[in-house]
Amino acid sequence: MEKRTSSLTLIASLVFGCLVFMSPLHAQQQDFDTWLAELKTEALERGFSAASVDLAFSEITPPVQRIINNDRAQPEKIQTYDDYLGARVTAWKEDNGLRRMTEHQDLLANISQDFGVQPRFLVALWGMESNFGTFPITESIFNVLATLA
């Protein structure tokens, strides 16, 4: 369980680290490499084990244009908020989200305390991006986050 907890915490850290450090400058390779090195250093300074950091960062490549194109073609950008909610936030997702909030309450509280992100947002992202693990993910999440950062 400790390895899974560390992985989930590292994923959460990278997700929100990427959101905090988003900038058009990162589109250039040199800036991307500098940003990635700084993010790796920060993860180590925050106490993540070198093995976890090496594993997470081993999957990161320079920005992938296909990922950028897919991100920019999201249907959310052409729908109203009400249409989006009606089409994507089903009763099943709500029920599963509430169940996951209860099941992972301690882990979510720790992540929230460490990174200042409310558990409901973590669970919402989990549900929307992977349908709580039921959608196959074909690209490394670390690579996607680094590309979009």
Q: 122-145 pLDDT, tens per residue?
A: 898 888 878 888 887 777 767 676
Cα-Cα-Cα-Cα dihedral sign, residues 78, 81, 84, 87: negative
- The answer to whether the CB of 142 falls within 8 A of the CB of 60 is yes
Instruction: Name the residue range of residue 117's domain.
Output: 2-148
Residue 27 has pLDDT above 80, yes or no: no
User: What pTM, to 2 d.p., does this model score?
Assistant: 0.51
- Whether 81 shows a pLDDT value over 90: the answer reads no
Per-residue pLDDT band for 14 (boundaries 50, 70, 90) equals: low
Structural domain total, the chain = 1
Distances in Å between the alpha carbon of 98 and those of 107, 113, 124, 131, 133? Answer: 15, 20, 10, 13, 15
